[in-house]
Structure 1
């Protein structure tokens, strides 16, 4: 019959069962009315058999059509606007995700987070004999946790700049200084990334805000640099993976805000170097879908490490998006760690001088120092008790030692190397066992790696010489170190008036996460009348400069 052309083809029985099993959260049925079968029966004198066959054809033709979230997301099925409005509550989304054209944004507010599980339960209750394994959101939604774009000022008021973090906590700090200077030189408001989980500190996936540890309002007042934090813009994203956030663990980009970032290493550099440092931890923690984009091929102004090239790049390349009639500008680089200029050193020193720790962190450190030295907090705050601080970084930093250990390029992984701590002695010959001679040679190279030229006796002699230089040979020493050698630590512990700082030992009942512990060390190392640090450690160099600018403190490097 001609009327059969009005109906959509149905999935086979096996396809239908598969779709139902794989796509529980959303069941969308499309029904279409056929022609009036009664009129057909009246016109045609069909036999009872033909009528039954017609009824069976009608049943299958008008059957429900099952759609999956994946089919909808891939635009395999197209609903008219009116049908879509009737079926699904709208969420703000980009209609066009092409990087070659400006995205159009739906202005409807996102669905409340609290309704997602309830919606899933409603769907489950309406689905007979279908078991839902999790309360997934009903659709992949890049604005599941809100849209940071909504919270930004219009282009008439300000433009923004941000960058993806790189490295451990202290190297992230260097990148942050560069980002702040980039904001200052380009007259843009800096969107400050959080201190992001890294190879040294896993902690919470979202990371900690700099404002927890640093007095950002004072920095803005002293330097004029305008700041806003990513954790403020993405405050709807949970701290931990729970509920719907846990559902996004594997396919988190489906629920992430898109963010285009220019590949910084292509600013005058080879394209092959681009994008190598994009941190999925940063993107995952804030639910941002980082979309790296290479700079135009004709950009050859300075090297990709040039601050001037970055400023010029932001001036000449559009990073503007439109939200209805409102335009906003967010310039993003895949990294800012390597940005350099003739004024980098004084610019960074200016930031170090004005970026002080919060009173909260300083108060914690006052109490911990008092406990470590067995004195009162009042005497620490008033400066009545004198002491020096020492930062001894060993083991994983040994590759940077000068002179480097012999054959350091082929040294085996050690338990001290956080990147390789799960590797075994045989990692360098995975297909065949090591001979006893090779194993002894490998063990010796490991010993060279872990000791470098900072032997225990060398460290002790340098510390004592430093005390004599201050004309206080018995002044208390507070030592912080990553060394895990039992014999080395035991030797340091028996030195006269040495106090090895152990947060777990001195924190009593207070609980601090991995970020807190590092920042407590960083704050502690700025204290005292003198400082002795490890030259190849960023943490030591920062501590030396902070003590010099804040307290006019004397510092030396191993």
Structure 2
């Protein structure tokens, strides 16, 4: 079959060719334009990446030239210091410095320096078990004469270290109330003394309230605080009994009419904010005079943390070096310390002659040798040096000490150089520095020195018995 010819075929061929050529020119121009744009953009990109210089900052005023100032060193805050439990610096009236949400506790001393140390130890421990902040007065010179000024607790013992080791606040009265303030503050306190002994029908006397300008109104404590009821030969009370008076329930049950105060003639019940007791030397947890026993809570939880100040320790080192004939920069050799108390114990000898009453030096030397032997057994060290402290005034006795090859601190100029307090303070530090200790039975100075030697030096201790011939035979 023949095909019929298309009358438009030649025309469409001509038109299609022209159109195609036009389209190809358009595509070529478009591609060229895109290529040129791409090259331009890429060149711009390279220019900015190769030259990262930021644009100039906006124009501002020229700043004032300021000299560099060194940032002050920040003083670490003592987490148990006075700033945490007081409003601020000491005030004229102690009440103005107390925080309303903090409770405090205080007491007074009047029994010789070592006994007063033990009294403050008991005060701090009572503060621990009643959740109160102890406020410690000064030491008064009851053993060296009333003409001598008191000495602050913190001049003898390292209070910041005590606070750190206890992890509890401990204050001194001068941190609470301005030293030398003339304003008498009224304060109600518990009278313990009249309830535990039967010779003095009044609170335990002390000069401290007057020194602190405190006008005290005393309330007699209940007789059940006494350790041994109706026993006249002991004056001890119990920590637990005294602690109950710090809480509302037992306090309210124990209130009786208070005595009027001496200055303002006011009668006040025992204060609940600043709890106070007249005398805390005769306090125990189980039995009288328990400090010498290993279980003593006052020693375990307080006493062993009452370290001497670094100043006192360095001073004692100087005295030991001079006694040993060593230069001032020489290390202090290990020694055994000895404390022999005679002078004020003579009245305890009664009708026994002094030379029979007190242990002779050969007996003391035997105890020293026991300490030497124990140290050698424990450590393998031979201790040659012995340092003797004593109140003995007999020159012949001291010559016999020298003949044994023992040494003693020279206090001939101590009072003139440092003051009346320092002979006993330096001796106390020396007694605690020995790697072993030999002391005098029934002397609280020896007893507490022995505790320090055991706790701080892990050293052996002995207390020499006396009172009659052969008392220390064993």
Which range, TM-score by smaller chain? 0.5 to 0.7
Q: Output aligned runs, 1:20-99, within 5 Å.
A: none
Paired with 2:120 and 2:200, the residues of 1 have a C-alpha distance of 21
1:330 lines up with 2:274 in the alignment: yes
Tell me what 1:278 maps to: 205
Tell me what 2:401 maps to: 492
C-alpha contact 2:340 2:439 (8 A) present in aligned 1? yes
Tell me what 2:243 maps to: 311
Tell me what 2:218 maps to: 292
Q: Output aligned runs, 1:141-156, within 5 Å.
A: 146-154=92-100
C-alpha contact 1:390 1:480 (8 A) present in aligned 2? yes
Range that drifts further, 363-372 or 216-225:
216-225
Paired with 1:397 and 1:380, the residues of 2 have a C-alpha distance of 36
Equivalent of 1:175 in 109, 119, 123: 119
Q: Structure 2 unaligned runs (5+)?
A: 1-90, 228-235, 256-270, 465-474
Distance 1:515 1:451, change over 3 A: farther
Distance 1:448 1:223, change over 3 A: same
Report the CA distance between 1:461 and its aligned residue.
4.5
Report the CA distance between 1:197 and its aligned residue.
1.9
Tell me what 1:227 maps to: 170
C-alpha contact 2:389 2:409 (8 A) present in aligned 1? yes
Distance 1:484 1:361, change over 3 A: same
Paired with 1:448 and 1:231, the residues of 2 have a C-alpha distance of 47
Tell me what 2:187 maps to: 259
Paired with 1:460 and 1:203, the residues of 2 have a C-alpha distance of 38
Paired with 2:199 and 2:463, the residues of 1 have a C-alpha distance of 37
1:359 lines up with 2:310 in the alignment: yes
Report the CA distance between 1:302 and its aligned residue.
6.2
Paired with 1:201 and 1:349, the residues of 2 have a C-alpha distance of 32
1:548 lines up with 2:433 in the alignment: no
Tell me what 1:512 maps to: 418
1:525 lines up with 2:468 in the alignment: no
Distance 1:448 1:261, change over 3 A: farther
Tell me what 2:385 maps to: 476
Tell me what 1:341 maps to: 285
- The structure with the larger Rg is 2
C-alpha contact 1:395 1:451 (8 A) present in aligned 2? no
C-alpha contact 2:187 2:216 (8 A) present in aligned 1? yes
Distance 1:271 1:161, change over 3 A: farther
For each residue in 1:389-447, what CA deviation from the matched residue of structure 2 results, as whole angstroms up to 9, or x when unmatched? 110101312455xxxx4xx1xxxxxxxxxxxxxxxxxxxxxxxxxxxxxxxxxxxx4x7
Tell me what 1:417 maps to: none
Report the CA distance between 1:540 and its aligned residue.
1.0
Paired with 1:261 and 1:519, the residues of 2 have a C-alpha distance of 31
C-alpha contact 1:203 1:515 (8 A) present in aligned 2? no
Secondary structure of 2:274's match?
Answer: strand
Equivalent of 2:160 in 204, 213, 217: 217
C-alpha contact 1:526 1:546 (8 A) present in aligned 2? yes
C-alpha contact 2:113 2:143 (8 A) present in aligned 1? no
Paired with 2:402 and 2:359, the residues of 1 have a C-alpha distance of 17
Distance 1:273 1:315, change over 3 A: farther
Report the CA distance between 1:232 and its aligned residue.
3.0
Report the CA distance between 1:466 and its aligned residue.
4.3
Report the CA distance between 1:274 and its aligned residue.
5.0
C-alpha contact 2:285 2:297 (8 A) present in aligned 1? no
C-alpha contact 1:395 1:450 (8 A) present in aligned 2? no
Report the CA distance between 1:519 and its aligned residue.
1.6
In the superposition, the TM-score normalised over structure 2's length comes to 0.63
Distance 1:309 1:470, change over 3 A: closer
Q: Output aligned runs, 1:430-509, within 5 Å.
A: 445=351, 448-449=353-354, 452-464=357-369, 466-467=371-372, 470=375, 475-496=384-405, 498-504=406-412
Paired with 1:147 and 1:533, the residues of 2 have a C-alpha distance of 44
Distance 1:356 1:149, change over 3 A: same
1:162 lines up with 2:77 in the alignment: no
Tell me what 2:258 maps to: none
Report the CA distance between 1:266 and its aligned residue.
4.9
Tell me what 1:116 maps to: none
1:539 lines up with 2:445 in the alignment: yes
Paired with 2:94 and 2:356, the residues of 1 have a C-alpha distance of 48
Secondary structure of 1:284's match?
Answer: helix
